[in-house]
Structure formats: structure tokens, C-alpha cells
Chains A and B, each alone.
Chain A
Amino acid sequence: MNKEEIKRALRKIVKNPTAMLGFVLLIIFIIVAILAPIIAPPDYPIESNLKEVEDALDDFDLSKKTDILFYFNNYLNSEYQFIMMDYPDLMELKDTLTKYEKNEVSFDELYFLTSELASYYIIDRYYLNRLTENVNSALKELKREISRQENIYKEAIRIKTEIEKLENTSDNNFKKQAETLHKNIYKSYIKKINYDPYIMRKVTNRNEPQPPSSEYKFGVSGGRDIFYGVIWGTRTGFKIGLIVVLISSSVGIFLGSIAAYFGGIVDEIIMRITDIFLSIPFFLGAMVITTILGTGLDKVMISMTVLGWMITARLIRGNILQTKNEQYVLAAKAIGVSDWKIIIMHILPNTIFPVIIQASMRIGGLVITAAALSFLGLGSPQGYADWGSILSYSRDWMSPENWYIIVIPGVAMILFVLAWNLVGDSLRDIFDPKMRM
């Protein structure tokens, strides 16, 4: 595309009111998604010791140095005290496990050691039960648990050395060092307690909806703040749409171009596989795969990717078949350019536009499917900031006075999908006027 064409395309967009609406909506959503932590700040958990450090650092003088060190050590003790104490025992268990696998130790010895550790609450009793039921899988689970604990221990040691380093820094550097350390430790704390800003926190334990107020601008549904969910849901929407479209389109482009370029038996096999996948109904198929893999946004995305590459593959195959016999491809072949280079450098750039347009038109539908899965309780986990799950809370409270729990997330979703559809539509109008609907 040269400059002139880009100019012409831009003029067409500006002249077309629906296209402009789509782009403006999309830009608003992008801004909201980027600024989500500012518009609806997540409620990061507070750790009392780290909070003290933060306060001390806010108006710092050297007299507070001992305080800060004290609170850091206090944090270390309160969070990692047990793992420090348990570590030798865990190592012993690990030793015994490896010995058991080499048949150097009997099962009874292993069982005895495990039960002893379980009685001191070093490991969960669950593993003891597992050992009696199914030894092999229990061993696997135990190993996983030990390596998890080991990682925590390593983290504790890391923090400990960092604090010791801080103790030895000069007074000039102390404040700066302490600040970075505080940031560091706080990050590891967030990670340790598995805090995820995408999970809408519960603001109340009552299930009934609360109307919009100054504190909760869009009201409360299912005990969770709708405003927070709607804002962070934009990020979820983009995440689902873009990732699924990117991966599934790449798979489709890859398979479609191989099929078209090499032809013959390769083409036949790939296209028959495509046919088979096309005769699986998309929504039900996604439902089944999500059910099998278990709930979670990543599982939803996997299932939609698995079932979403076929149309792209067909499209790109058709396009390549058309361009395959063009003179520039034949010329490239004649001078001995390799097959892959011809596909990537010569054919794809000339055939990819329809795929990009089609991808942008698919995003809306994908977001709808993901939301529908969440609505059925199959998609994102409990409390995840996702429009579909916010709507699913409303199922038991459907009455006119609770309109806000339905209309607000619903409208957000419609506008998001509308934005993508309008953009895809106008892109198609511009680049492929024949297809205009």
C-alpha cells in the first residue's frame, strides 16, 4: 500500500459515519482498558509491617533506620517463619522419596515419615490419604508440594539476604535501597498471596443487588462492585478477542498456506481435517472443551482457538490458489527462491488483507461466545472481572428495580462488540468494495 492509498482509505473512514462511530468507540475502550488501574484502582491488600515501612519511608530521617529494619525482619518472620523451621524436615522427606523410588527405603518408612510430618502440620493430611489410595499419583503430588515449599524457602532466603545487605549499606544510600527493597518485597507478597486485580473483590456478603451510590457508581451485584467489573472487563474483553484471533488466525494462515502451496495429498489431508472441524458446532464444541479442561479464562481461550482456525485456513488457501500462478511467484521460483521464502515474502503480503479484515470482524463474536460461556457458569472463575459473569449474577434478581445489574454490563458488552463489528465492516467496505453489504 502506498501513501496515496492510505490517504484515500482514511478519507473514506472519515466520511462514513458508522465507521467513525466504530473507531471512536474502540478508541474509548482502548483508553479505558489502559487506564483501568487509575479509573478503578484495585484494592491491593495491606500487610501491616510493610505498611509501617512505607509510612516510615514517607517522611524519612536516619533515626527511623532501625525501625525500618525491624519491620522488614518482622515481615520476614511472620510470613516465612514456618518454612524456615520446616525446611530440614521437608528435605528429609525429599531424600526419602528419591530413595524410595530407587527401592532403598520401604514403603512403611516413607509412610511413617509422611505421617509424622503431617502430624506436625508440615504437610497436609491429604497426602497421607493419597498414599494409601494411589501411590504413584501421591508421589507425584508430594513432589509437587515439596518443590512448591522449596520455592517459598528460596524466596525467604532471598529476602533475608536482601535485608542483611540493607543493614550494611551506608546512611547515604539507605533510603533509596530501602525503597527498592520495599517495592520488591511487596511484589513478592502480592505474588505469595495470589492476589489478582482481575478478581472483583467482595464488598458485601449479602447477595442482593444494591443500587448505584456515590461509593459504588454502578451499584453492587452478587456482592461485587459493578463499576470495577465493567472497567476491568474491558481488559478481559480485549485479552480474549485479541489473543484468540491472533493465535487461531496464525494457525489458519499456516495450515491454509501449506495446503494451497504444496497442493496434492497435503492439501487433501489438511482440507479434510478442516471439514471435520467445521462440522463441530462452534458454541457447543467450545462448551465441551471448556468442560473437559475445567473452568478458567485460559481454558475458554484454548477451546475457541481449537475451533476457530478453519475459516481463516479456507480463506487463505483460496487466495493463495489464485495468486500461486501469478507472474511474480513464477519469476521468484524461476530464480530459485525457496518455497518458504516465496510463501512468506511474496504470497502472504498479497493475500493477507482479507484475513485481517475477517479477523477484526470475528473479535466481536468471540467476545460474545466467551461471555455466553461465563454466563452459563463455564467460563471465567468466580468473581472474575468479565461482563458475562457479572450478568450471570443477575439471574436470580431479575426485576425492573434491579435494572442496573443487567443493563450496565449488558450495554458495555454490546458497545464493545458493536465497535469491533463496525470497524471490521468499514475495513471491508474500504478494501473490498465488492463485498459491501
Chain B
Amino acid sequence: MITYIVRRLLMIPLLLLAISLVVFSMGQLLGPDLLVSAYINPNVAERMTAEQLNSLKEKYGLNDPMPVRYAKWLSNTLKGDLGWSQVGKEPVLDAILNRLPYSIEIALWALFPIIGFSIWMGVKAAVKHNTFFDHFIRVFTLIGWSFPDFVFGIFILLFFYGVLGWFPPGVISVEGFQIMRSPEFTNYTGMITIDAIFNWRWDIFIDGLRHLIAPILTISYLWWAYLLRITRASMLEVMRKDYVRTARAKGVSEKNVVHKHAKRNALIPVVTVSGQFIIGLIMGVIIVETVFNRPGFGRLTANAAQTLDYSTVMGSLLFTSIIMIVGNLIVDVTYALIDPRIRLE
């Protein structure tokens, strides 16, 4: 077990290096003319003469051979210098870190309803196999699976904001924003609902939550569909296993069979999927924050891509790739911890 974890940990720097190489080479596709825009404002660059541009390229080493440039870029990146973000109007790393709390807030709030609901419903659907409830869940997941997340988000916005006026876009109302900016309110984490709890301001908490429900609903529905499918399938498989029949035969109550014997083993594949799920949350956040107009990490990336702000886009890609690698590691290790069959390898 320990050798497995050590082996996986040793792989991480190599993978990170490889990822950095991929991201770097993607940037190189731009060519030196466009790469300059990662360092200065393109509007300024347009008015510059060829000589000025050349001296700039010289300064940042854009005319150097590829390996030299990669080494320079890598050392800068390790120092945390990812370039200047035009969209964020600050260095890329700061721009990402400053906006991250909004995205983490959505992810945190979405996590529990998604996992809880899908496991509960998935197990129930498998236990009541081929009943009306099961068919309903099948249809529900199929539709959810085919629903593009931004379309679902727009539908939600149209209905809950346009028709009912319940959940407005944005992160907080104007009054709430003023309170948040006032001296008696301390910002600990940057996440509105969490800060509100720490400050014991329930009005702000409810205000923040009201703006959160629609994005959470959007992200959750699609993941419900996916996780439900997997829970249901694996539960159905486990329920046919011999040891479940044995448990029934020796007179264990149906409730205990399902929850103590079957569910535990059925959830193993669900753990593997949760790795993709973390990544999916990051991706979902790009769409959801654009649709619901929330100033988080996802919107920063989307805006950067729209305005051709290469340094920010590259920074985001690197950042999410690292999260993905670490997330996959955690999932694999947990998987090995839960499932004894893996440990033998």
C-alpha cells in the first residue's frame, strides 16, 4: 500500500513537468508576434514599430531557441509569475486566486446535494428495480445526461428569475454588497456565505444563498444524472452477487442487506468517478459563472478566452491541470484504501 502511494507520489512531478511542457508548447503555437501580447497590452503593441517590438521580444527572450525559452518560462512559473492578466488587470496568479473563492463556494455547496442525492436515489432505484420509480429515475437521468449545462442554466434563469423572480443572477444584492464592504463585516475567506456565518449575519447568508441556488441547481442536475446512473448500475450488479444472497438466506433483514452489505461495495465505482467529478465542477463553473454572471475563476477564464488574453488562459489551464493531477491522485489512493483488490498490485 505504502509503495503504491509512494510510486504515485513520485509520478506527480514527472506528470507536472509533462503538463507544463504541453501548456508551454500550446503557447508557442502563437508565434513570437502574438506572444508579446502576453507581456504588454495589444493595443500598445499595435502602435509600436518593428524595432520596438523586436527589442521587446529580445527582452523577454521570445527570439531564443525553444529549450532556453522553456527553461525561462518554467523558472518564472515556479516562482509564481505567470505573466500579466489583461482581463483581471493584475498578475495572472493573483487574478486566479482572488476569484477562486467564488468558484470554491459553488463547488462546496454543490458537492453535498450532488453526492447525497445521487447515492440515495441510485440505491433506491436499484432496490426497486423495474418499478415506476426506477423508470422515472432512468428517464430523469437520460434527460439530464442530454441537457447541455448552459442550456439548462439559461432555462433555470428564465424560469426562476424571469418568471418567478426568486433567484437573481450575480453574487449578492446591492444592499448586501454595501454591508459587506462596511468596516463591521470582516472578510475571512472571500466566500460570501461562509463569511456571513463567521460574522453572524444571517441576512447576508440568506442573500448570498439566494444567488447561489440557481448555479448550484444547474451544476447539480447534470451530475445527478451521471452519478445516479453509475450508482444504480453498480448497485444492480452487487445485488446479484452471491454474498448478498447468502446474507438474505441467513435471515438478515432487507434493510441491512441493502445498507450494510450491498451499498458499501456498490459505492466503490462511485469513488472513482468522483475524480472526474472534481474536474467536472471546475468545468461546470466556467459555464455557470458566465450564465449567472458571477465574477469567479470560471468567468475570468471565459472572459480571457473571449478577449484573447493568452497569459490568463494559459495560467488557468496550468492551474486546473495541476488540480486535476492532484485530484486524481487523491481518488486513486482512496480507491486503493477502500478496495482491497487494488492493494495486491
Contacts and interface: CB of A to CB of B under 8 A. Distances in A.
A289 interface: yes
Interface stretch (A48-56, A84-92, A222-230, A368-376): A368-376
Contact of B310 (A291, A371, A414): A291
A131 to B, nearest CB: 11
B142 A422 contact: yes
Interface string B1-16: 0000000000000010
B271 interface: no
Contacts, number: 134
A418 B142 contact: yes
Interface in A331-389: 364, 368, 371-372, 375-378
A280, A371, A391, A400: most-surrounded residue (chain B CB, <10 A): A280
A277 B21 CA distance: 11
B146 A376 contact: no
A413 B148 CA distance: 8
A276 B23 CA distance: 11
A386 to B, nearest CB: 13
A414 B155 CA distance: 12
A283 B222 CA distance: 15
Contact of B155 (A372, A378, A406): A406
Contact of A285 (B27, B163, B229, B317): B317
Given A281-B282, A281-B283, A285-B317, A293 B308 contact: no
A398 interface: yes
A400 B158 contact: yes
B162 interface: yes
Q: Is the interface of A mostly helix, strand, loop or mixed?
A: helix
Interface string B125-165: 00000000000001000110111111100110110011100
B310 A378 contact: no
B149 A421 contact: no
B313 A291 contact: yes
Given A133-B50, A281-B324, A410-B154, A276 B18 contact: yes
B154 A282 contact: no
A279 interface: yes
Interface string A268-285: 000010011101111111
Interface string B157-184: 1100111000000000000000000000
A275 B150 CA distance: 29
Contacts of A406: 154-155, 158
Contacts of A292: 26-27, 29-30, 310
Contact of A436 (B158, B233, B282): B233
B331 to A, nearest CB: 12
B142 A403 contact: no
Contacts of B282: 281, 284
Contacts of A277: 22
Interface residues of A, number: 48
A413 B151 contact: yes
Interface stretch (B82-90, B245-253, B298-306): B298-306
Contacts of B15: 275-276, 279
A380 to B, nearest CB: 14
A394 B230 CA distance: 35
Contacts of A280: 19, 22, 317, 321, 324
Interface string B291-315: 0000000000110011010100110
B146 A398 contact: no
A287 B315 CA distance: 13
B287 interface: yes
Interface in B320-342: 320-321, 324-325, 328
21 contacts: A279-B321, A279-B325, A280-B22, A280-B321, A284-B282, A284-B301, A287-B286, A287-B302, A288-B305, A289-B26, A292-B29, A368-B149, A371-B148, A376-B305, A376-B306, A391-B154, A398-B161, A399-B162, A406-B158, A410-B155, A417-B146
Interface of A: 18, 133-134, 272, 275-277, 279-285, 287-293, 364, 368, 371-372, 375-378, 391, 394, 398-400, 403, 406-407, 410, 413-414, 417-418, 421-422, 425, 435-437
Given A283-B283, A292-B26, A378-B306, 14 more contacts: A18-B142, A276-B19, A279-B15, A280-B324, A284-B283, A288-B314, A291-B310, A371-B148, A371-B151, A372-B150, A372-B287, A376-B286, A421-B145, A421-B146
